[in-house]
A and B are shown apart, each in its own frame.
Chain A
């Protein structure tokens, strides 16, 4: 694994489902420690793009290089990448038959081969970080949505990944729970984690993003630092989108 390579380098990424072109030629480089927020209307390909980075979706053409390793369909490179890339989903996707602690220790023990005691210590450290250590022995269904999503973040962090992907992490939450999840994500960003977040939380983008990317119909339309992105968008479609999300 190349220590100097950018976190993520995507060139000419194409992906279609049947006749529908979800991604048509994405080029994106994310530097180590960079925070990128991806926004755009639904169906614009943002989730597909982020899911290609850890190969939950296989791309049709183009290259994806994560931490210097090319995702070429070989299982070895895939395993290597997935260990280093954590992901948080819109629907949390906690394992309902395991306690919070077991959710957090499973992958470190199976994939990183940590001894149980060490895995549990790591898990408690990250559960404290997401401010939920007292729920360690509960099952996911006993927690609120916001708590579940914070556990999901802790679960991903327990693998001590170098990159975190967030796929609309607050979209399934009740409004009063969005803040507690965003707070955790802000802390994470401030500690220098490389993050790619698909989100419509523009306040979050303004606060932590190094770059905001706007996607529409499978293409990156605009990419700019938040100051410029929000105050002086270059493209009509960006302006229209911003007026829709910010306009009321």
Chain B
């Protein structure tokens, strides 16, 4: 681009005050809007700070009465109940295993996010090791670790497990469904389309119920498996139906000439797919994909309806005991911070990927 950028209405050198006035109070009406919105924002911020910090009780030993007297947030509830919030029903003496399992999941995710690890061999090694470690820690039964049944899993490790398994199983399913729906053979495209549309027409809750309760009635015994895995499969199917449409949208946005050029160079179907089409489809689908991941993370909380104690459900039980029933806002704020950390990390990583894939590709 060789055009000169239009000169700014107000050059920088005229000072911060002038610029602020230009941006936020150019007219009396704009000034009024700024004033009203600003007042509301300041009031909210002040109330929050006042509650969460200024009048809050931080002393871990403080009890209900001390909190009541101070009038602000009662953070001792977290100190007293954090193990229930984070690990749910997992046997108390074994919770160090659940904590380590969380670290394993976090390490696997972080390692997979590093561009230098993006090779089939490396990723497979990371995920195989990570899955084995996670299972060893969570299930036990080997090396003298007490076995812990999936029904007793809870809190953060369960939420992470359901999310990661949903995404890892759902993503390949989504790619396969998207490719099937794009097929020129009606015998493949139509069933894929029907499956996608059928799943998208059902609420996730009903799919989870079906997987948890109805499937055992209709499946032969050897296919039933643990309830947790049936539920994860249901969640993955649901994820895949939406993600398949996102990927298909990415495919449709690729100019037709791309595949023609690849054909003309003699590339076969799989080479065209892996080298030319999928990378471009993923790039085009990236913002919507990150969105879908975020939604999938939030939706893990729904597994409570089929009897699992995920992070949110564990938090709910944490303040249900006599002493802390008044402190639910503090507990929710705590898990909100955990959800926020994960989802904010996810969306920042999405932004990093976008920037990386765009490197050098902007139209000049």
Cα of A93 to Cα of B262 in the assembled complex, Å: 9
Do A89 and B275 touch across chains, with their CB atoms under 8 A apart?
Answer: no
Please tell me the number of chain A residues within 8 Å of chain B, measured between CB atoms: 29
Q: Which stretch of B63-71, B253-261, B344-352 is in the interface?
A: B253-261
Q: Is the interface of B mostly helix, strand, loop or mixed?
A: helix
Give the residue of A56, A91, A110, A139 whose beta carbon is less than 8 angstroms from that of B360: A139
Q: List 16 additional A-B contacts (Cβ < 8 Å) besides A54-B264, A82-B266, A89-B257.
A: A56-B260, A82-B265, A87-B264, A93-B257, A93-B258, A94-B261, A95-B276, A96-B361, A97-B283, A106-B267, A106-B275, A111-B266, A139-B361, A141-B361, A159-B265, A159-B266
Interface assignment of B263: CB less than 8 Å from any CB of chain A: yes
The smallest beta-carbon distance between B170 and chain A, in angstroms, is 24
Cα of A111 to Cα of B270 in the assembled complex, Å: 12
What residues of B have a CB within 8 angstroms of the CB of A96 in the complex? 280, 361
Please tell me the number of chain B residues within 8 Å of chain A, measured between CB atoms: 25
Interface assignment of B271: CB less than 8 Å from any CB of chain A: yes
What residues of A have a CB within 8 angstroms of the CB of B357 in the complex? 97
Decide: A111 near B280, CB < 8 A? Known: A89-B260, A139-B361, A142-B360.
Answer: no
23 contacts between A and B (CB under 8 A): A54-B263, A56-B264, A89-B261, A89-B264, A91-B257, A93-B257, A93-B260, A95-B262, A97-B283, A106-B265, A107-B265, A107-B266, A110-B271, A111-B265, A111-B268, A138-B360, A139-B359, A141-B362, A142-B364, A155-B265, A156-B264, A156-B265, A159-B265
Decide: A141 near B360, CB < 8 A? Known: A79-B266, A107-B266.
Answer: yes
A-B Cβ contacts below 8 A, count = 73
Q: Which residues of B contact A (CB under 8 A)?
A: 255, 257-258, 260-268, 271, 275-276, 279-280, 283, 357, 359-364
The smallest beta-carbon distance between B4 and chain A, in angstroms, is 20
Cα of A142 to Cα of B361 in the assembled complex, Å: 7
Do B267 and A107 touch across chains, with their CB atoms under 8 A apart?
Answer: yes
What residues of A have a CB within 8 angstroms of the CB of B266 in the complex? 79, 82-83, 107, 111, 159
Decide: A111 near B361, CB < 8 A? Known: A89-B261, A95-B276.
Answer: no
